[in-house]
Structure 1
Amino acid sequence: MKPAAMEFFTNNIKRNFPDFTINKVEILGEGQMSVALKVNDSWVFRFPKNAAGSVDLEKEITMLPLLSPHITAAIPQFTYIGKQQNGFYFTGYPLLPGVILEEEGFEALPADKKNHLIDQLAGCIREVRSFPVDVAKQAGVPQFDPAAVFTELHKVVLEQIFPLLDKRTQNYVSSRFKAYFTNPHYKEYIPALIHADLSPDHYLVDPKSSSLTGIIDFGDLRISDPDYEYLYILEDCGMDFTSKLLAHSGEIHIKERLMKISLFVTFDHLQYVLQGINQGNKAWIQEGLDEIKREMEF
Structure 2
Amino acid sequence: MKPHYINRIKEVYPDLEIEKAEVNDIGQNNDVLIVNDSLIFRFPKYQAGIDNMLKETDILQKLKADKHIPAPVPIYQSFEPLELGNVFTGYRMIEGSPLSGEEFRECADDLILKLRSLSLVNVLIRLHAFPVDEFAEGPAAIHDEYKDLYNRIQVNLYPFMRHDAQENVSKLFEDFFNRIDDFYFTSALIHGDFGASNLLWNSKTFELAGIIDFGESGPGDPAYDFAGILASYGYDFFKRCIDNYHNDDPGMEKRAVFYQKTFALQEALHGVENGDSTAFASGMRGYM
Report if TM-score (shorter chain) is over 0.5: yes
State which of 264, 267, 288 in structure 2 corresponds to 1:272.
267
In the alignment of these two chains, the number of paired residues is: 285
State which of 40, 47, 69 in structure 1 corresponds to 2:43.
47
Q: 1:78 to 1:119 in 2, by over 3 A?
A: same
In the alignment, which residue of structure 2 is the partner of 1:143?
139
In the alignment, which residue of structure 2 is the partner of 1:22?
18
Identity among equivalent positions (%) equals 27
Counterpart CA distance in 1 for 2:44 and 2:270 is: 18
In the alignment, which residue of structure 2 is the partner of 1:243?
239
State which of 190, 206, 209 in structure 1 corresponds to 2:205.
209
- Deviation at 1:282? 5.0
Task: Name the aligned partner's letter for residue 271 of structure 1.
Answer: Q
In the alignment, which residue of structure 2 is the partner of 1:99?
97
- Deviation at 1:260? 2.6
Q: Would you say the 8 A contact 2:191–2:225 is kept in 1?
A: yes
In the alignment, which residue of structure 1 is the partner of 2:168?
172
Task: Name the aligned partner's letter for residue 200 of structure 2.
Answer: L
Instruction: Name whichever of 241-250 and 76-85 sits farther off.
Output: 76-85
Task: Name the aligned partner's letter for residue 88 of structure 2.
Answer: F
Task: Name the aligned partner's letter for residue 177 of structure 2.
Answer: F
Counterpart CA distance in 2 for 1:194 and 1:32 is: 19
Counterpart CA distance in 2 for 1:232 and 1:203 is: 10
Q: What are the Cα deviations for residues 114-165 of structure 1, in whole angstroms up to 9, with x where unaligned?
A: 221111111111111111111122xxx4523332111122233333433333
In the alignment, which residue of structure 2 is the partner of 1:296?
none
In the alignment, which residue of structure 1 is the partner of 2:111?
112
Instruction: Name whichever of 269-278 and 221-230 sits farther off.
Output: 269-278
For normalisation by structure 1, the TM-score amounts to: 0.85
Find out whether 1:126 has 2:130 as its counterpart: no
Instruction: Name whichever of 260-269 and 123-132 sits farther off.
Output: 260-269
- Deviation at 1:83? 4.6
Counterpart CA distance in 1 for 2:145 and 2:190 is: 17
State which of 27, 30, 35 in structure 2 corresponds to 1:31.
27
Q: Would you say the 8 A contact 1:157–1:270 is kept in 2?
A: yes
Over aligned residue pairs, what C-alpha RMSD do you find? 2.5
Q: Would you say the 8 A contact 1:47–1:89 is kept in 2?
A: yes
**Runs of at least 5 residues in structure 1 that lack an aligned partner in the other structure:** 294-298
Counterpart CA distance in 2 for 1:200 and 1:123 is: 17
- Deviation at 1:93? 1.6
Counterpart CA distance in 2 for 1:15 and 1:188 is: 48
- Deviation at 1:50? 2.3
Instruction: Name whichever of 238-247 and 271-280 sits farther off.
Output: 271-280
Q: What are the Cα deviations for residues 167-198 of structure 1, in whole angstroms up to 9, with x where unaligned?
A: 32232112211221111443311111100111
Higher helix share: 1
For normalisation by structure 2, the TM-score amounts to: 0.88
